[in-house]
Structure 1
Amino acid sequence: MLTKRIIACLDVTAGRVVKGVQFLDLVDAGDPAELAARHAAAGADEIVLLDITATHEGRGTLLETVRRTAQRLFIPFTVGGGIRTADDAAQVFDAGADKVSINSAAIARPELIGEIGRSFGAQAVVVAIDARRTVDGAEVFINGGRKPAGRALLDWAREAEDRGAGEILLTSMDADGTRAGFDCELTALVSQAVQIPVIASGGAGTAEHFAEVFLVGKADAALAASIFHFGIADARTLKEVIAQRGIPMRLPC
């Protein structure tokens, strides 16, 4: 069985890391480069930096923030927000990212997934999906969770895979920031619908939540933000507890 990954997420606006609940009520959590280095040293397998207001504000990614953060890291680094073209992606890779995450731009022009993949490899393309439950299933949202995309979750996840995505980063908007647990049912639906790795996001609060999303949600990786930023837990401690459940983890030295 492949090792599961613990990913620390940095939601960034105006060059600072912020965290909220269900994409609202944002509070400052610190400097991206400092937090990324701290989480990496504490055992995170990867870092994801999302410029969460770039699309809404109609601007590109904050490349200097990406550059400063990349210089502090020795683990895989994914960057998303404001990437609308393969040229935008190239600039982010040049600034030090190992992967790019695309969300609203992929919905607007799905061909972008393949364009980036052909230039940089499918493993470097993460399609981020923000989803909220509905009566009939789950709906995809764009523009930082502000606008419904008019796409059903499973349909879009399958299309993203078909167009060349290397991974899917699935955020449950209902669970985001609550620390009440991942939406394991929603994660399992997507994990079973595609063959590529699925990263679960939204709701992390305890080590047991991570174990549940790996075992029940069938996630390949799980992402968290506030529990790391505010000192509730670190990746090393989480991994030790999760490994005791028989789940394969890459334990730090």
Structure 2
Amino acid sequence: MLSKRIIPCLDVREGKTTKGIKFKGNVDIGDPVEMARMYYEAGADEIVFYDITASSDKRDIMIDVVRRVAETIFIPFSVGGGIRNVEDMRRVLLAGAEKVSVNSAAVLHPEIIADGAQAFGNQCIVLGMDVKRVEPSETIPSGYEIVINGGRKFMGIDALGWAKQAEALGAGEICLNSIDADGTREGYELNLTAMISQAVSIPVIASGGAGKPEHLLDVLTTGHADAALIASMVHYGTYSVGGIKEYLAESGVPVRRTW
């Protein structure tokens, strides 16, 4: 059985790591380069970096920060935010990232997924999905809607249908973020995660809501996720990457040992 991955997430705004709740009330909490190094040394399997205002501000990603993080860590590194075309992907990959995450741009121009997969390989293309729970309807039969531009714009697109379409276009992985759970530390959105994970054959990273190790156990088992994104629970020092992995291993979840 493949090991489950534990992935610290660095949301970056104006060069600083930031954290909010349900995409609101963000406060700066540290330097992304130093935090990336700390999590790498603690045994993280990957690092995810999101420039959270690049799309809404209609600007390019902070490539200098990407380059400095890539020079600091020696584990897979995924970068998202402000990536609009294959040339943006190339710049990020040349700066040292192993993967690029497309979210808003992919919803507006789905062909970017196929173009990126053709240029760099499916394994490099991560679909970021920001999802909000809504009343099921003819347009949104799953009851989960795609939202873009940092949680600001509802798109009238069903999350389940979009995940399947993105896989068909060539996405190699999905990072699935529940806006409802984001930053609450009350647990992942298990119903959403299980629904998407069981509907696609590519890996799904669960995101949004981790507050204690038990939440990761739930989403990696009941939620069928292949990996779990963590932020608040390690950013504020409540738990460590190593401690989380030890708990999961003792609970029967296969993880890469770091202790």
**Same fold (TM > 0.5):** yes
Q: Are the counterparts in 2 of residues 43 and 234 from structure 1 also a CA contact under 8 Å? A: no
In the alignment, is the contact (CA less than 8 A) between 1:200 and 1:223 conserved in 2?
Answer: yes
State the Cα deviation string for residues 37-94 of structure 1 (Å, max 9, x = none): 0011111100000000000000011000101111101100000000000000000011
Alpha-carbon distance in 2 for matches of 1:233, 1:43: 13
SS in structure 2 opposite 1:34?
helix
Mapping 1:12-91, distance limit 5 Å: 12-91=12-91
Tell me the equivalent position of 2:191. 185
Cα RMSD after superposing both structures: 0.6
- Give CA deviations for 1:162-192 in whole Å, capped at 9, x if unaligned: 0000000000000000000001111000001
TM-score (normalizing by structure 2): 0.97
Aligned-residue offset at 1:107 = 0.5
SS in 2 for 1:243: helix
State the Cα deviation string for residues 92-147 of structure 1 (Å, max 9, x = none): 01111100000000001101001111111100000000001112110010001110
Equivalent position of 2:203 in the other structure: 197
Q: Is residue 40 of structure 2 the alignment partner of residue 4 of structure 1?
A: no
Amino acid at match of 1:92: V
Distance between the aligned counterparts of 1:6 and 1:249, measured in 2? 8
> Please, what TM-score do these two structures have when normalized by structure 1?
0.99
Give the drift of 1:232.
1.1
Secondary structure in 1 aligned to 2:8?
A: strand
| Cα separation, 2, equivalents of 1:100 and 1:147 | 22
Question: Deviation string for 1:12-38 (max 9, x for gaps)?
Answer: 010100000000000111011000000
Amino acid at match of 1:119: A
Question: Which residue in the other structure is 2:222 paired with?
Answer: 216
Q: Which amino acid aligns with 1:93?
A: L
Match of 2:176 in 1: 170
Contact 1:239 1:249 in 2 (8 A): yes
- Given that 1:70 and 1:77 are in contact with CA atoms closer than 8 Å, whether structure 2 keeps it comes out as yes
> Match for 1:84: what amino acid?
R
The residue identity in structure 2 corresponding to 1:37 is: R
Structure 2, unpaired ranges of 5+: 137-142
CA shift, 1:160, in A, is 0.5
Q: Which runs of 5+ in 1 are unaligned?
A: none
**Aligned partner of 2:198: which letter?**
Q
Q: How many residue pairs get matched?
A: 253
Identify the residue that residue 151 of structure 1 maps to in structure 2: 157
